[in-house]
Amino acid sequence: MKITIANLYYDLLNLYGDSGNIKALVKNLENQNIKVNVLNLSINDELDFEKYDFVYIGSGTENNQKLALSHLMKYKDEITKYIENNKFLFVTGNSIELFGKQIIDNDKINCLNIFNYESIKQEKRIVKECTLKCDFIKTYIIGFENHDCIIDSNKYNPMFKDKNNIKEGIHYKNFYATYLLGPILIRNTDLLKYIITKLIIEKDKNFKFKKFDFSLEEKAYNNYIKCMSKE
């Protein structure tokens, strides 16, 4: 089996060690004896979504976000088809804003309009560590937020919820989008295992899995949970 990962805007949208998510995917897919082809693509490249099994887009500065958006706008129909066909698209940080209708600041920036939400600039930046719940993962999800917009995701299934049942992110088919940075897949190995398992089964329902080894990552996760419980 071979899996092709498109790491979009690797040079523009890669804050907070987001590239670690790609490394985690590659390492654990290869541990399952799967060949992995990572395509690092940016605004000077032509995109062909029919060739990708998994697309990843990380977080960036506002200027880099706009550069990526300008390039992505040419592929709106292809991206919509990709999502509707249950292909995997994983989005972190402020790149979640690209898939809504608009980013509203002093001006309105038109986005892909694949999902019917707006990203509204806030006076006070949201910066915090998070411990969230997830419907498809039993363990808590941990991560870090640093953004100055909020989205109204109430129309969609959230990716996560906090202890007050406030929604975070969007989960639609195999589209996963969250403001959490981190890198989230290294910090949350149950989520990583979930994504990898689904990705492989989409290619081969009868795949024989090897045991996952997340001993070091789980130790870091458990230490974090223990520290948070003391606060």
The two tokens of residue 152 are 């109204």
| C-alpha span between 24 and 96 (Å, rounded) | 21
Which residues on neighbouring strands pair with residue 161, listed in sequence order? 133, 167
Instruction: Phi first, then psi: give them for residue 67, nearest 5 degrees.
Output: -60, -45
Q: Which of 204, 176, 191 is nearest to 90 (CA)?
A: 176
Structure confidence at residue 230 as a pLDDT band (50, 70, 90): low
Q: What is the pTM of this model?
A: 0.95
Average pLDDT in the chain: 93
The count of domains in the chain is 1
Tokens of 73: 């706008």
| 154 pLDDT higher than 80 | no
Res 169: pLDDT: 93
Residue range 58-85, pLDDT digits in tens: 999 999 999 999 999 999 999 999 999 9
Q: Say how far apart CA 26 and CA 5 lie, in whole Å.
A: 9
Residue 192: give the domain boundaries.
Answer: 2-230
> Each residue of 176-222: pLDDT tens digit?
999 999 799 999 999 999 999 999 999 999 999 999 999 999 999 99
C-alpha to C-alpha distance for 120 and 227, rounded to whole angstroms? 33
Helix, strand, or coil (residue 39): strand
DSSP 116-181: S-EEEEEEEEEEEEEEEEETTEEEEEEEEEEEEEEE--TTS--SEE-TT--EESEEETTEEEES-B
pLDDT at residue number 227: 83
> How many helices (H) and strands (E) are present in the chain, helices listed first?
6, 12
Q: How confident is the model at residue 157 (pLDDT cuts 50, 70, 90)?
A: confident
Q: Give CA–CA dist 119/167, Å, rounded.
A: 15
**Phi, psi (deg, nearest 5) at residue 105:** -125, -135
Contacts of residue 88, Cβ cutoff 8 Å, sequence gap at least 6: 53, 54, 55, 174, 176, 195, 198, 199, 202
CATH number at residue 226: 3.40.50.880
* Token duo for residue 222: 């458990």
Residue 114 · residue 37 · CB < 8 Å? no
Contact 169, 188 (CB under 8 A): no
Model confidence pLDDT, tens digit, residues 22-35 = 999 999 999 999 99
pLDDT in tens, 77-133: 999 999 999 999 999 999 999 999 999 988 899 999 999 999 999 989 999 999 999
